[in-house]
Amino acid sequence: MQTTLQQLFGYGQSPWVDYLARPFVRDGELARLMRAGVLGVTSNPTIFRDAITGGDAYDDRLRELFRTETEPKEVFLALAAEDVREACDVLRPAFDLSRTGRDGWVSLEVDPRFADDAGATVAEARRLRALVDRPNLMVKIPGTEAGLAAIEETIAHGIPVNVTLLFSLERHRQAAEAYLRGLRRFLAAGGDLSTVASVASFFVSRVDAEADRRLAEAGGPAALRGTLAVANARLAYQTCQQVFSGPEWTDLHRAGAHPQWCLWASTSMKDEDRRDVEYVEQLIGPGTVDTMPPSTAEAFLEHGRVGMTLDRETGSARETIERFQAAGIDYDGIVALLERQGVEKFRTSFAELLDGIERKRGQLLAGQGAGA
């Protein structure tokens, strides 16, 4: 009998897991989730911060690195590259079997401090690609204004891209168009389009959290509570269907190009009054990815309901945004704020990660000295 995660694949959706840590890979947990249906992995600075500085799983390797490396970022990159490389190897069978370009990927994010610097982002993307040295690495680039230029340039270099921190429908469309420009440039340079892929990580739960907070403050209609995020995601799905169709896309597709898939991110439910797997259940449809924290993946395995849902109420999704506007809730203001907050959150996590590595240096080297 198929698991619920495996059933998602039957509806054209690939379930990924939003987590990466050394024990998760080496102790077989990732392989177990793959057997249950997981087909990809995403990571971010917050996940790595918690994994590396939150316990002792990396301490032996840190002691080795501290002997020769003084820069915290270089220590982090060495650890991250090892973890991502091993996860890529575990997922390689799914990658080799995938004919859509959608499965078997592992995402590693560029330094979030470069979110507003396109040139530095592209250089970092190229460095990460060389450092990990696996064909199923997908480099994560924030979908900021500067990120759009970096996405195009990175794709033009033949490097797969996960566009992260997308909240706005307009920014999502711009990211898709940047991907197309990069594909055209890569093809013109003689590149093999079948080796390049991209996902657009469209965030879900944070939209409802901010919209519902503003709705409560404004005394808006209770019926609107918890409705904006899914409507926003369904409209993003329509954008994908529009951008990746027509004669121009057909020509690229014939040359081997894969569409940029919608990836539903931040799909854990923050509202305790709602079903814990509601976002996963409401965004099931072909040509998409859903990346879930392990707890959400386990919950969906236990009691998730599977069925085609992305095509439900598509006509009313735009009306939902209009109803929020009528209630005095500014959609553009919400998504702009969430983009800024998302970038800042990852920058803060990255800074805390580097600080944590420095603290580890002091603790581990002091321990060596005490034992000498």
By annotation, the residues acting in catalysis are: 140
Helix/strand/coil (H/E/C) assignment for every residue in 281-319:
HHCCCCCEEEEECHHHHHHHHHHCCCCCCCCCCHHHHHH
Residue positions counted in the chain = 372
Integer Cα distance of 234 and 312 in angstroms:
9
CB neighbours (10 Å) of residue 252? Answer: 17
Question: Counting runs of H as helices and runs of E as strands, what totals does the chain give?
Answer: 16, 8
Integer Cα distance of 276 and 274 in angstroms:
6
DSSP reduced 3-state for 3 = coil
Closest CA to 268 of 309, 209, 313: 209
∠ CA 212-267-272, nearest 5°, is 55
Burial status of residue 161 (CB atoms within 10 A of its CB: 0-12, 13-18, 19 or more): buried
Q: What is the DSSP letter of 14?
A: E
- Only one residue has tokens 């580097």, namely 354
